[in-house]
Amino acid sequence: MTLRVYNTLTKSKEEFQPREANKASIYVCGVTPYNYCHVGNARPYVVWDVFRRYLEYKGYEVQHVQNFTDVDDKILARAAEENKKPGEIAGKFIEEYFADLDGLGVQRAHAYPRVTEHIQDIIDMVQGLLEKGYAYQVNGDVFYDVSQFKDYGKLSGRSLAELRAGARVEVDKRKNNPMDFALWKKAKPGEVSWSSPWGQGRPGWHIECSVMALKYLGENIDFHGGGVDLIFPHHENEIAQSEAFTGQTFVRYWVHNGFVNFSGEKMAKSLGNVVSIREAREQYSGMAVRLYLLSTHYRSPIDFDLEKLSAAQKGWERLQNVWKTLEQVLGKEGGQLPAPAPEDMGERGEKLLTEAQEALNRFEEAMDDDLNTALAVGVLFDLSREINSFLREPATTGEEKAVLAQARQIFQTISGVLGLVPAAELGDEGELLDSLIKIIIELRQEARKNKDYARADRIRDRLAKLGIVLEDAPQGVRYRRK
């Protein structure tokens, strides 16, 4: 099966044909680090994380690049406010970005280029555009001349005429055409700036992505992504710059995710209705946030509220219980037991194996269809039910365990591609804690055996207060952290 993705450029689902066999290049527009990331910001990064994992699952060697816009008006403003250097602000929030996204299980991209580290590359490209007649200089500012690029508007489906008619912004008189945009901005007094052939200044917003995408991934890259709001003008302008400069198609597949709304409006810092990732995580686990985001198809808008996170939290706990139960029955490693012969695995074993294999097929089908993670999540829950159902009666024979191990492998594969994997929450000190809890459980079991339920319940209650939940499951006592 081949992966089909919805391409904003053609407004249709297309089969993914990589630029280079077995390789996939991804460029995702990153954040401007001037504040903490909110849940809306996180969506594209979670989506692209899954996209990347799935491509890798399908055998592609992926190059994933994501920028940081580490100099821009908002950073400058915040720096001025706090009496700090812009670089300090950017540096701090880049760190926070990683901390937050790590918590959602987002793998690191292969490169995170920053604007301030590519000033010369940017100047070179602007210079190139000037030489080719696609740009003009006015008094230290350099603008892109959209009238020179015949395909302008092809991504957002607008014509220059329409754009002009709909313009809601005061026209900058220095521009030839209202839709022209800045490639290089002349520095205001006292602002951070770099010297250039046009005087002191800094890059415009759009040029950085063209420069860095071309530098790290080359021409004709496979995927370029970001939120739908970036289609116009940002991505439209990137196309204009890059294709004018190289004469090649810039991007093969443009992929845009829908917004996260909050109380009916999009969640955006400018509207002030944001919930930061760390706020959400005060109450809910990172995996719950991730599950919430993946429970809706990436192109649909998704409405945020904390109660939905609560539902996702419950769902995640269910998934997590499957991991824990399997671990309890099969041990931490396992999983590699040889597949039993069909005639040896018994009726229920055969059923489980069939269901599990079918789940994997359904999973791939869902993901191949424009990364339908919502359906894929459904498959994962189906598989969970099959596994739990099988475990109602403990697996006794070696064959049954082997079947279970196979099912676990599929469960882990699907979970892994979706990135819904329990963190090693207990860490190093967990070893000790784990042993201690086991001792307590043992003592409680003795009390239960002696029908000293008051004592048994007291132990359970007091552990519960510490956030450690005991469950007397048919397979034995199990504990988990709340």
Partner RNA sequence: GGCGACGUAGCCAAGCGGUAAGGCAGAGGACUGCAAAUCCUUUAUCCGCCGGUUCAAAUCCGGCCGUCGCCUCCA
Enumerate residues 164-203 that contact RNA by CB under 7 A: 165-169, 181
Residue 9 binds to RNA (criterion: CB under 7 A): no
Residue 456 binds to RNA (criterion: CB under 7 A): yes
Burial class of residue 388 in the structure, from the number of CB atoms within 10 Å of its CB (0-12 exposed, 13-18 middle, 19+ buried) = middle
Least distance between RNA and beta carbon 382 (Å): 5
Q: Which amino acid is at 442?
A: E
Identify which of residues 18 and 445 has a Cβ nearer to RNA in the complex.
Answer: 445
Least distance between RNA and beta carbon 280 (Å): 14
Q: Are 46 and 410 in contact (CB under 8 A)?
A: no
- Of 312, 402, 405, 441, the one binding RNA (CB under 7 A) is 312
Identify which of residues 20 and 51 has a Cβ nearer to RNA in the complex.
Answer: 51
Identify which of residues 324 and 344 has a Cβ nearer to RNA in the complex.
Answer: 324
The residues near 102 (Cβ < 8 Å, ≥ 6 apart) are none
Q: Are 49 and 105 in contact (CB under 8 A)?
A: yes
Q: Which amino acid is at 58?
A: K
Residue 156 binds to RNA (criterion: CB under 7 A): yes
- Of 66, 69, 406, 415, the one binding RNA (CB under 7 A) is 69
E-assigned strand segments in 187-316: 201-203, 221-227, 251-257, 260-262, 265-266, 302-304
Identify which of residues 219 and 303 has a Cβ nearer to RNA in the complex.
Answer: 303
Which range touches RNA (CB under 7 A), out of 117-125, 137-145, 194-202, 256-264? 256-264
- Of 96, 191, 279, 303, the one binding RNA (CB under 7 A) is 303
Give the β-pairing of 23-28 and 221-227.
Answer: parallel
Q: Are 400 and 337 in contact (CB under 8 A)?
A: no
Which range touches RNA (CB under 7 A), out of 85-93, 131-139, 231-239, 278-286? 231-239
- Of 260, 330, 356, 407, the one binding RNA (CB under 7 A) is 260
Closest CA to 330 of 391, 287, 246, 243: 391
Residue 153 binds to RNA (criterion: CB under 7 A): no
Residue 283 binds to RNA (criterion: CB under 7 A): no
Report the number of secondary-structure helices (H) and strands (E) in the chain.
15, 15
Identify which of residues 428 and 451 has a Cβ nearer to RNA in the complex.
Answer: 451
Least distance between RNA and beta carbon 275 (Å): 11
- Residues in region 209-228 near RNA by CB under 7 A: 226-228
Spatial separation of the C-alpha atoms in residues 253 and 371, rounded to whole Å = 14
- Residues in region 110-149 near RNA by CB under 7 A: none
Spatial separation of the C-alpha atoms in residues 107 and 417, rounded to whole Å = 11
